[in-house]
Chains A and B, each alone.
Chain A
Amino acid sequence: MLIFGQAFASGGGQADPKAAVAALSDDAEICGCNGVSKGQVLACIEKGACSLDAVRDTCKASASCGSCTGLVENLLALALGEEVQAGPRTMCRCTSFGHGDVRREIVAQAMRSIPEVMQKLHWSTPDGCSSCRPALNYYLLCALPGEYVDDQQSRFVNERMHANIQKDGTYSVVPRMWGGLTNPRELRAIADVVEKFNAPMVKVTGGQRLDIFGIRKEDLPAVWADLGAAGMVSGHAYGKALRTVKTCVGSEWCRFGTQDSTGLGVKIEQATWGSWMPHKFKIAVSGCPRNCAEATIKDFGVVCVDSGYELHVGGNGGIKVRVTDLLCRVATEEEAIEHCAAFIQLYREEAWYLERTAPWIERVGLAYVQSRLLGDAQERAALAARFLHSQKFCQDDPWAKRAAGAEREHHAPMAIFTPMEIPA
């Protein structure tokens, strides 16, 4: 049995979350990544796992994507009552600080590198772990646009390789198609890549892109060179970054369309592509309230209406579907783009690493986000300006650099060994 809509069980200010997990049957699946049932989690708590980390270590529940963390915490509370080792949530086991503290201190003390953060905040490990290093790398990147040198060894594989690793160790490649539009030249280049590199599958993604599967890591730079020659850049399908701007055909073609949703989507994607975020970030623009682009389950969604644009925030599909909250209505495209940039920057500066907009908004409250974006036009303009400043350093196609030979060590083997060459 699978549990849908974890909002009912993992808190979020609704009915008693402990009662909700108590009501689940023992075979209810808690952790979908690792296939762990409620009964298995309770058995491991009974055997002595009395903290979230201990549960993660023993039965692996919530040890992968982490989205069932709330359920596991509620099971702990249910099973142990007062005995749960709660304490403040720390970033990881390398530090006693939480994400919020670390972000604040990085800015307050003007820290400039991962080793400096670890030293000043008394990290307990020599070089962190796979949880804190990517987070610190992002926090520094966000705090010091254009100055901080990205630490490739603190990036998860997909971001280091600029492609998505698949379970057989090959990669999938998604070139950017602005607003979901494409043309014969791009389609030909994609078809040629598929044939030339024997890609076993090409798939249309949910974000209106084409995903080429089965590319070997050695071949990635050559694939990117071919796509780049047709004018395409990285689609960042692999990143905690702006993924896609999905659009409908809008007023240009559709008899219901109220505004040029496709054109606005392209403009928004051109303004926002390349930016690194706390988590993946998806945008959509629908040309009327029929909402064919599903804008109300995106991190930022625009629904065009006769009088202008409704701006929606904090939605996502995926494990815990969340419908957006209405941020505000604006009259012009320029205002829509400015609000989008300001919202992204607020999220980039204040959310915790790996926190999508939906849990972030639930944590800080929609009223807070509205107060920062709508209360004072100057503050909104300043946020948007900080976003555009940081974009100056990000809108630099990572594929083109690698296709030109940069960071070859990520793709080429260090040595190739054929046993026959060795004298007997």
Chain B
Amino acid sequence: MIGEWLDIGWLDEIPLRGSRVIEVADGDDIAVFRTGDGKVFALRDRCPHKHGRLSQGIVHGGAVACPLHNWRISLSSGEALGEDQGCTPTVPVRIDAGRVLIQRAAMLAAAA
């Protein structure tokens, strides 16, 4: 189906161990992360704790540390790690010839 995967830009527009956001009209931002080993993940840009902007956290291993109170959120599952409880919706992403593609329906659901 046309438009199922949306092209959001070049992989190297996302800093290594960093993140960029996609603004979704009338919804929450989606944060797109690139880990030290080059994998890409997308999550709603909201911490399950008190809605901290995960895109502004420090990315280490396969997790991001929330900038507000330092919960660690798994980038692959969106689950809080350690003893903390909570989950942020994730969105499938894939890389094609250096471009980052994100699944449209899942992104809209996560941003809603």
Contacts and interface: CB of A to CB of B under 8 A. Distances in A.
Interface string B73-102: 000000000110000000000000000000
B16 A153 contact: yes
B60 A416 contact: no
Nearest to A166: B68
A419 B83 CA distance: 37
B24 A417 contact: yes
A130 B20 contact: no
A68 to B, nearest CB: 15
A415 B82 contact: no
A414 B20 contact: yes
B60 A127 contact: yes
B53 A169 contact: yes
Contacts of A34: 69
Interface in B34-70: 36-37, 50-53, 56-61, 65, 67-70
B22 A413 contact: yes
A423 interface: yes
A126 interface: yes
A125 B60 contact: yes
A128 interface: yes
B108 A161 contact: no
A409 interface: yes
Interface of A: 33-34, 57-58, 63-64, 125-130, 133-134, 152-154, 156-157, 160-161, 165, 167, 169, 409, 413-420, 422-423
Q: Indicate the size class of the contact surface on chain B.
A: 35 or more
B18 A153 contact: yes
B83 A130 contact: no
A167 B50 contact: yes
A133 B58 contact: yes
Contacts of B17: 127, 153-154
A354 to B, nearest CB: 13
Given A126-B37, A423-B3, A415 B60 contact: no
A422 B3 contact: yes
A58 B53 CA distance: 23
Contacts of A161: 56
Contacts of B22: 413-417
Given A414-B9, A423-B2, A130 B24 contact: no
7 contacts: A126-B36, A160-B56, A165-B53, A169-B52, A169-B53, A419-B25, A423-B3
